[in-house]
Chain A
Amino acid sequence: MADFQELIKNFNHLRVYIRAFYIYGYGTRNTISQKSKRTYDNEKRRIASYLGQYMKHYYGKKGKTVFLSIDSAAIPQNPFYKAYQSKSFTDNDMMLHFFILDRLECKKMLTAGQMTDEISFAYGEMFDVQTVRGKLREYEKEGILQSRKIGKALYYEKSKDTLEKFFPKKEAVEDCIVFASESMPFSVIGSYICNGMHLKNNYFLWKHHFIAHTLDDMELLQMVKAIEQDRGVELVNVSRKTNKKTTLKGIPFLILVSTQTGRRYVFLYADKQKRFMTLRLDCIQNVTLLEKAQHKQGLQQKAAEVLQTKWGTSVKWQNIPEHFEMTIFAEDKTEQFIVERLKREKRFGTVKKIAKNTYCFSIDTADTNEMMNWVKTFTGRIIDITGKNQKMINRFYKDMYCMAQLYEDG
């Protein structure tokens, strides 16, 4: 491992391995290694380097199993942000970063040619003017520099939007930024600001905090851009079961977030398949933006119609809602918390009191099947369930019987 590098060029491998160690946590060198054992060893070593304090292992029948053990309620900051700080670079990248910013701090405004000369005079370092120009352009794109044309020459200057200008009183904003750096979409960007301001989390704890979401933020960023600009995307969808990669083109409309099951999806119209679908963000790779989707406007109404009756993420082009009713027992005097629970979890369903200690939840939804896990959380109180999808109702009873058998003898 003489040429092992701690930093990486491509985030995708790391993303896959972190998920394997954190979410699944039971893979061995033989079962996880996607390309080769060497890749496994390198990725494991990197993850150990970034997240060593959370890495554990045990020896099972199949050999050594390495996993990440993290209680997301007990961490001050999402440890996976570290992975985002691991981008590799060249020696020139590193030197130009500091030399350019230093020169512009002293000279205020320079052309690419002047910058090349300045670097040479001030630090005795020779760079090709094209390399310097490339870096200046790149930094303009990132918003660190601004350019201004004077005559025929293009001058670059440092952006005036410094941390000091934005946050003259650190204490007035620090808790807002720390909170945003864990709770908002793209919260890793909040963590970059926290790093710049040396902010620490002193006042926050998190519950139901799905930290692995952050690993999909690059794909999410492309999706959000596409939604904002009404553009299409091309992406690679990786099947969890078969690992098969499928390239797909579509128009993203909405990001669906499950705050309970920890999954995020993109709801899009797939051009070739000519239907709406939801794809899990953690199964998506290599999202590229396409041209403006001229036909998006014409699909808006259908999209709204399809979304209207979905319980979770299952959507159907032919939106024929299935009626479903569940009758629940809750003592009027002592178990109002059950009624409250029904009300807060009913989504677009309705809850009515139909008799003493008896409440009815009813809904017309695109897919009864999606709702059945939630229905089973009321096990012990379900007086009756009825609905159009008899197959699902049968399955409920079958499940209950099966569970009774399962726990019959302890």
Chain B
Amino acid sequence: MELFSEIYGIYYDIVTKILQKQCITAYEINEMAQKYGFEESALQMIPKLLDGKSWRFLEKKQGKYVSKLQKSPSMPLTTLEKQFLKAVIEEKRCRLFLEEEEQKRLKQLLKDVPPLFREDMFDMFDQYQDGDDFENKNYQQIFRSIHRAMRSRHIVIIKYLGGHRSEKRMLHKGMFLPLKWEYSQKDDKFRIYCIKVEQSGKANPMVLNMGRIVWAKQTEKIWNKPVDMEKIVYGRKVKTPIVIKITSERNAIERFLIEFSTYEKESEYDEQTGVCTVRMWYVKNDETEVLIKLLGFGPVLKVMSPPFFVKQIKQRIDKQMQWIAKQKTSLYPYQIREEKNSMQCYDVFTEGENKSHGEME
């Protein structure tokens, strides 16, 4: 069982599509290779398909190419695919998208197939502990009714619990058009990108936590106005990137670049100073998350801009220094002063500050 195999490859896939046509022109072959292939696939595939020497599937008849195959090509599921499917139907999050009947049917079909992996082979050691209760019957029922409404574009009445600023959560009710699910493995939660439909007819984009929805009922109303998904989902990304300088101490550059690899970013490394400069774009809603993650790195990085972001960092550090100053029993700040001379970590940031960056294209 090979994961990296030509049978799943793009060339086999394109040839399948071409041979499914039975009779096809050279122009259409070229078009299909362009559409479904990699950038240079057409260049590499077409001579092999049409030269009559390499991939001898096609015969030229009256200016067109006819497949030599007698049946339309298709490939059965591989063992790897079936084992993956078995793992899928045993997985609680994936099962949310399958009705009970469908789960039973697939279970029966895969009864002799071992799953590709078991959940207990993986330890997601830093996954948050307040993830959604995927196996709760009420959660499943609400989830599926919202998913059905999402597919059919029906408006749903939803009752949900508000945020947790105070000790008590408030119950809210409203009409929503669910648009997309967002899943986070770190939070182990589903969120719903939706439009809140007001009585006045006004529609506001919103994100709801699935786990906080306590009740949902689909209405008869279908939303048939266009929805600008791009604006709702990605419109909230900051226009000005956050600029961060990272030193190579404590393997910070690598740790940072992997940890923030999910964000759109550009990086530049200065070999002389050993400092990496990163420009990173984030969604406005995630600002606090980004801020605390950056604080977690400590003094091995410095946020250079935008000023409002730097200000927030400074405020938190100032507050922290106040807490430290209050600690009468602590060794600090006495010992800190002692160690001041041995601290070089911030020097490198100032050295590189006025250097210009290359032009981004």
Task: Answer yes or no: B354 CB below 8 A from chain A CBs.
Answer: no
CA distance A376 to B186 in the complex (A): 19
Task: Answer yes or no: B7 CB below 8 A from chain A CBs.
Answer: yes
Residues of B within 8 A of A (CB): 1-13, 15-16, 19, 38-41, 44, 48, 54-57, 68-71, 73-82, 84-85, 87-88, 91, 93-95, 97-99, 102, 106, 109, 116-118, 121-130, 147, 150-151, 163-167, 180-188, 191, 193, 233-234, 237, 254-255, 257-259, 261-271, 276, 281, 283, 292-293, 295-299, 302, 307, 310, 313-321, 323-324, 326-327, 330-333, 335-336, 339-340, 343, 345-346, 349, 357-361
**Residues of A with C-beta under 8 A to B7:** 97, 142, 144
Task: Answer yes or no: A322 CB below 8 A from chain B CBs.
Answer: no
Nearest CB of chain A from residue B112's CB, rounded to whole Å:
11
CB contacts between A and B, total, < 8 Å = 444
Nearest CB of chain B from residue A68's CB, rounded to whole Å:
10
**Residues of A with C-beta under 8 A to B269:** 24, 26-27
Given contacts A180-B91, A380-B317, A406-B349, contact A175 B147 (CB under 8 A): yes
Q: Per DSSP, are chain B's interface residues mostly helix, strand or loop, or mixed? A: mixed
CA distance A82 to B40 in the complex (A): 13
Q: Tell me the residues in window 79-100 of chain A with beta carbons closer than 8 Å to chain B beta carbons.
A: 82, 84-89, 91, 93-95, 97-99
Residue of B nearest to A188 (CB): B3
CB-based contact B151/A203 at 8 Å: yes
CA distance A84 to B11 in the complex (A): 12
Given contacts A7-B9, A73-B262, A259-B127, contact A142 B336 (CB under 8 A): no
Task: Answer yes or no: A176 CB below 8 A from chain B CBs.
Answer: yes
**Residues of A with C-beta under 8 A to B163:** 337
Partner of B9 from A87, A91, A95 at Cβ < 8 Å: A87
Nearest CB of chain A from residue B188's CB, rounded to whole Å:
8
Residue of B nearest to A240 (CB): B254
Task: Answer yes or no: A382 CB below 8 A from chain B CBs.
Answer: yes
Nearest CB of chain A from residue B310's CB, rounded to whole Å:
7
Task: Answer yes or no: A257 CB below 8 A from chain B CBs.
Answer: yes
Nearest CB of chain B from residue A152's CB, rounded to whole Å:
27
**Residues of A with C-beta under 8 A to B359:** 58-59
Nearest CB of chain B from residue A329's CB, rounded to whole Å:
7
Task: Answer yes or no: A243 CB below 8 A from chain B CBs.
Answer: no
Task: Answer yes or no: A204 CB below 8 A from chain B CBs.
Answer: yes
CB-based contact A101/B336 at 8 Å: no
CB-based contact B121/A255 at 8 Å: yes
CA distance A25 to B281 in the complex (A): 15
Task: Answer yes or no: A67 CB below 8 A from chain B CBs.
Answer: yes
CB-based contact B293/A377 at 8 Å: yes
For this complex, 14 residue pairs linking A to B, each with C-beta atoms less than 8 Å apart, are: A24-B267, A52-B39, A67-B266, A106-B71, A122-B68, A166-B109, A188-B3, A204-B181, A224-B117, A262-B261, A312-B126, A334-B166, A376-B298, A377-B292
Partner of B54 from A73, A91, A162, A195 at Cβ < 8 Å: A91
**Residues of B with C-beta under 8 A to A329:** 323
Render A202-235 as a binary contact track against B, CB cut-off 8 A, 1 for contact: 0111111111100001100100100110000000
Partner of A205 from B193, B255, B257, B321 at Cβ < 8 Å: B193
CB-based contact B361/A403 at 8 Å: no
CB-based contact A209/B262 at 8 Å: yes
CA distance A267 to B315 in the complex (A): 40
CB-based contact A26/B102 at 8 Å: no
Partner of A95 from B56, B193, B261, B299 at Cβ < 8 Å: B56
